[in-house]
Amino acid sequence: MNALAATNRNFRHAARILGLDSKLEKSLLIPFREIKVECTIPKDDGTLVSYVGFRIQHDNARGPMKGGIRYHPEVDPDEVNALAQLMTWKTAVANIPYGGAKGGIGCNPRDLSISELERLTRVFTQRIHDLIGIHRDVPAPDMGTNAQTMAWILDEYSKFHGHSPAVVTGKPIDLGGSLGRESATGLGVVFATESVLAEYGKSISGMKFVIQGFGNVGSWAAKLIHDRGGKIVAVSDITGAIKNPVGIDIPALLRFKESNASLKEFQGADAMDPNDLLVHECDVLIPCALGGVINKENAADVKAKFIIEAANHPTDPEADEILANKGVVILPDIYANAGGVTVSYFEWVQNIQGFMWEEEKVNCELKRYMHKAFLDIKAMCQIHNCNLRMGAFTLGVNRVARATILRGWEA
């Protein structure tokens, strides 16, 4: 099932649980605006090349729309639409005053030089600058983009609108980025994991973890779990997968990754088939990579007791049902990976105030928001007698629906 179909299915299930009016339900599902632009740039060799860029602005009932911009060959309107909708529910679950958006350019950033990436980013910003803004739509980094990408967007946008640091988040610290933003999603995943484990009388210390994806989110989650006494028995990235039954030395692996391309060459663990990673023996499985990796083909073989969805849409609805029947506890993506957008909100607030916070305050506030969101989800689970995914979806959809009604959506 593709990401859009799965997201719509979860939304409709939540809408039925909440008893939403059918017209309101349909209204909440339809995106506010869909933008498609052609971005033509000269390559370094002088030839012209054109890429298609998208920005889907899903909902702004609770505040400016918010969401990442990804550079990836498989960016398409359906995927971007699904991710924009997920952002609407995610910001509502975290209870931060944003709506949802998502964007992307269909390109492979690995095939482009730094100067080509800069030209592409600036042209994309020129095409959409009058449709984003501090109080309209605030982009952030995503797959294939980073703080430098945001710096280029900020600079190009400011040429049209004056100095506007709050127009993007995930910026370099020197341009108004927030301390703690780089680790935010991974740290949020850890706070979410602590919250759900505590419900079952457990803690991170001594538990066995498997982490799929060793990019920004996965590597930070691994480091922070290791620091808390968790035992990471297997990890993977696009170069391969490794395992060590007594636990991988994560600080050593992080040092190794800085100077080596392939994970498989790390001496402190054995190489394994990446396809076996998701079904490897562990207590907690944390998918941090692409969507749809846990599906009806492999769900029955998953051995983890807890799945923490650090990636967007890693579990297909069919797999959800299989795992639920096995008693696996799934902490859904719209809560588990909300740490990034929460600290993006803190960055936006700091930019608007023109006053920067200490990293300790950022992390303390993030912990407070993540813990409160878990309690809110748990309350919805008890009210509606549902699992954590539907608890999160009913919480997010209900907040957006209330804001929409209060604003007078039928006028």
344 is in an annotated binding site: yes
Partners of 133 in the β-ladder: 137
Element counts in the chain: helices (H) and strands (E): 13, 12
Instruction: Provide CB contacts within 8 A for 141, sequence distance 6+.
Output: 68, 69, 147, 149, 150, 170
262 is in an annotated binding site: no
Kindly give the pairing relationship between strand 48-59 and strand 33-42.
antiparallel
394 is in an annotated binding site: no
CA pair distance 220, 375, nearest whole angstrom = 24
CA pair distance 256, 260, nearest whole angstrom = 6
Partners of 71 in the β-ladder: 105
Given the residues 102, 208, 223, 243, the one annotated as active site? 102
> Does the annotation count 223 as an active-site position?
no
90 is in an annotated binding site: yes
Give buried/exposed letters for 19-41 (b at 16+ CB in 10 A, else e): ebeeebbebbeebbeebebebeb
CA pair distance 222, 200, nearest whole angstrom = 21
The single-letter code of the amino acid at 330 is I
String of DSSP letters for 93-158: HTT-S-EEEEEEE-S-GGGS-HHHHHHHHHHHHHHHGGG-BTTTEEEEE-TT--HHHHHHHHHHHH
216 is in an annotated binding site: yes
String of DSSP letters for 386-397: --HHHHHHHHHH
- Residue set of the binding site: 66, 90, 185, 216, 344
- Residue set of the binding site for substrate: 66, 90, 344
- Residue set of the binding site for NAD(+): 185, 216
Active site residue ranges: 102
